[in-house]
Structure 1
Amino acid sequence: MPSKQPSFPQGPRIYNLFPTLLGPVERWTERLPEIARMGFDWIFVNPFHLPGESGSLYAVKDYDRLHPTLRGDSNGDDDSNDDERLRAFTAAASDAGISVMMDLVVNHTAIDSDLVTEHPDWYVHDDGSVHSPSATDLDDPEIVTVWEDLAELDYSERPEREAVIDFFSEVIRHYIDLGFRGFRCDAAYQLPGKVWQVLIERAREAAPETQFFAETLGAPPDDIEQLRPAGFDALFNSAKWWDFRADWLLDQYQSFRDLAPSIAFPESHDTARLADESDGDSRESRFWYLFAAVFSTGVMMPIGYELGFRRRLHVVETRPEHWEEPSFDIRDFIGRVNAMKAETPILNEEGAQERFTAVDEPVVGLLRRSPRQAQHSAVLINPSFKEGQEYSRDHLIEILDCDADQLQEITPAFSDAAEGTSADAAAGDNPTSAIHLPPRSLRIFIANH
């Protein structure tokens, strides 16, 4: 972590703490020193509320009560100290230099929530029945998944909408009072931007520093665009699914970088574990975390990624007994990447970004320009699993429009045994002008003008 407070805005470096993998809230606190040592400045906690009968964390039955698993074995039904448990955790995180954000699920509730019977007019209805949300498979429109454990809230323009907004404004204020400083807004695109604008403005009246992060993955562009007036601090991008060739990721980045800065991740609680897909190859996990960290303003990583966990996180089934023996340990590498990001202004803002290599070239080059300061970055990526590649140093200097002595490499060492910046990659450089890129590697350069 940087030794002194940086003079430029910091993009969020987020550790996703999946609550039911750790269990009781007190155990969350035990993880704080390790999370801080890796250089994270935010912790994101998935829903920790009392779920409905389905048991899904995202089917919230009661926003004021903790999931029984998070209270401990001896007092799973005792909700009298729920607030104190959470307040103690956020205070300990703050002492460790970490802000805490919670998952904010406001587009639906559990179908068996008391709100469904107490306020049926808050919900969407189908032929008199409360509507359960659904999703259509993009590849096969005939495949429709209906989440029957959920009840969809109705945010259309009508008098009842104000009561729903008032309710969730109070939920947000309550958790601000407990020390939460951010909210990851699940399926944010499913609510009108004007609704989010009211919720965000009210939250910032209570605590001006509160931040809101929009989850918009897979949303149609128009649904994201309508969030523009809401005032989100960041949104999540789809860098995890890039093949390093297609244009769509850079197009997405360019389209929305002025709406809000974006956050990339190598895997999430909704995806398979990368360590499982790569059969425990730690280099693959290093490669994807480094790419996520340098592509956009923010970066997020789920619990267990640093230890090569292979079992997929599950919103219903995951429990503390699913904690795994590590496949590997890349905590030191994660710390080096986070330190590099924290110390480099251009990596903490959504500067204009473009590819400067042809689509069919073996090396992928990304150039990012700062809109606020005289700093550019260039990332060279070798996506090949087998072949090493080289790139002209002279050409890179030309791309960055700098003198040779202005070119600085900031790549953290992939190997924990290597000393200094990019020691393991630079060792293969051609002594003339070629930059060597081992298989599945990145090298990051900056130029200060």
Structure 2
Amino acid sequence: MKFNWVFLNPFHAPGFSGSLYSIKDYYQLHPLFRGESRESPEQLLRGFVRQAEKQGLAVMMDLVINHTAKDSPLVSQHPEWYLHEEDGSVHSPFVVAPNDPQNVTVWGDLAEIDYRQRSAREELLAYWKKLLQHYIRLGFHGFRCDAAYKVPGEVWAELIETARQLNPEIRFFAETLGAPLHQVEQLHSAGFDYFFNSAKWWDFHAGWLLEQYEQFRHIAPSIAFPESHDTERLAAEGGGEERHSRTWYLFTAFFSTGVMLPIGYEYGFRRKLHVVETRPEDWEEPAFDLTSFIGAVNAMKVNAPVLNEEGPQRRFTPPSHPLVGLLRQSEHSAENVVGLINTDTERSHDFGLDHLREVMGVEVEAIQEITPFHPTNSLAGHQQIQVAPYSMRIFHALGQRS
């Protein structure tokens, strides 16, 4: 499918809840991943990374340092590293529903780490630096930083600097979904290479996603996804229609510098991934096969440099119109690209070629279609572009803007 990274959710030994994100021991493997092997965790992980490299894949691991499992040995060994309640018990992180202050979810299996400035923080950072060094030496190429906004930017800056002293090519990906703007902005100088954006939740009409894109693109480029391990499966939400999954993958690949999908998306899996319960036997019978389509989309992205940077992006169609037009422009050249998304599930919609020429600022002859499995000269002899129900078409232009 022409991906260049594989991202692993936490593979460490979990605490009593069994959740991948409730880490008890950062240096031991989850028993389910270890299997019957007698090799050490280091040998197994190093072998995995090397096999991935042979397939042209860099390996990114999850870095969870905003909390640990409540039954982690670190809680008793270093109680000063954690936040505590008035009665002395370890504080568990929680979240309040934005539309209902009475709806509070507490993660009782987790112990929240205290990053306030004090002497204990230096010891804590030394522990994380050693952990980073351990996994970089095993060959990992990057770290997806869970709930990065909950850790101060200056802490990340120090950790990232330490990692790059060992490997200047190491990459850091900040997970900041749902965070307030000020918590994301405090990461501005931390040194992150990428953020994850909220394109998955867009209805194609509201203005918030493009506003967020403009605010965050100056911090770091972003990665979009049509579903994740935290969301429902798109095939379940979209009634299992192949066109639904095609359009959403094409849109997320178009919208931002990076694109990600969880295993099974390409086959229309419907069962939601679960950080405690998912097992290999949950593999489903494929509803369809998008592997060649996804490979073609990724190839399209590689061949259009404008799709690999976060330049200006705007909508040029009315917010309420079923045909959504997006223009992405390069900040380094005259290259630009237009995406036409038909959100209507029943009817085709047309878009005038003259209007496309005006939007892209070039003559029609300079515009090529780059939608996978469409001819590049699809505009020849036509005055209108027809976009089929619930589909997307993409047009690319190079050269001097008129």
Alignment TM-score > 0.5, same fold: yes
1:395 to 2:347 alignment: no
Q: Are the aligned partners of 2:368 and 2:376 in contact in 1 as well (CA < 8 Å)? A: no
Paired AA for residue 199 in structure 1 = L
Q: CA deviation at 1:144?
A: 0.4
Deviations 1:360-382 (A, max 9, x none): 22311111110112201111111
State the shift of 1:431 in Å: 4.9
Which of the numbers 216, 227, 249 marks the counterpart of 1:267? Answer: 227
1:5-404 aligned at under 5 Å gives the runs: 38-72=1-35, 74-75=36-37, 81-127=40-86, 128-404=88-364
Query: Residue deviations 1:291-328, cap 9 Å, x none?
Result: 00000000000000001111110000011111111111
Q: Which stretches of structure 1, 4 residues or more, deviate above 6 A after TM superposition?
A: none
Q: 1:448 to 1:60 in 2, by over 3 A?
A: same
Structure 1 counterpart of 2:392: 442
Counterpart-to-counterpart distance in 1, 2:295 and 2:241: 19
Does structure 2 retain, via aligned residues, the 8 Å contact 1:388–1:439?
yes
Identity fraction in percent: 57
Cα distance in 2 for partners of 1:225, 1:144 equals: 26
Q: TM-score, normalised by structure 2?
A: 0.97
Do the aligned residues in 2 keep the contact of 1:105 with 1:185 (CA within 8 Å)?
Answer: yes
**Which amino acid in the other structure matches residue 45 of structure 1?**
L
Distance in 2 (CA, whole Å) between partners of 1:252 and 1:279 is 29
Q: TM (normalized to structure 1)? A: 0.87
One-letter code of the match for 1:446?
H
Q: CA deviation at 1:94?
A: 1.2
1:9 corresponds to which residue? none
Letter in 1 for 2:291: R
| Matched AA of 1:97 | G
Q: Is the CA contact 1:48–1:66 (under 8 Å) kept in the aligned structure 2?
A: yes
Task: Say whether the 8 Å CA contact 1:422–1:443 is kept in structure 2.
Answer: no
Can you give the 5+ residue segments of structure 1 that lack an aligned partner in the other structure?
1-37, 414-419
Q: Is the 8 A contact 1:380 1:443 kept in 2?
A: yes
Check the 8 A contact 1:430/1:436 in 2, yes or no. no
Q: Distance in 2 between matches of 1:123 and 1:60?
A: 15
Cα distance in 2 between the residues matched to 1:328 and 1:362? 27
Tell me the C-alpha RMSD between the 2 structures: 1.3
Letter in 2 for 1:315: V
CA distance in 1, matches of 2:395, 2:98: 38
Q: For 1:65 and 1:290, locate their aligned partners in 2 and report how far apart those are by CA, in whole Å.
A: 38
Compare relative contact order (CA 8 Å, sep 6+) and give the higher one, 1 or 2.
1
Q: Is the 8 A contact 1:49 1:67 kept in 2?
A: yes
1:332-353 Cα deviation digits (max 9, x unpaired): 1010100100111000000100
What does residue range 417-436 of structure 1 map to in structure 2 within 5 Å? 420-421=374-375, 431-436=381-386
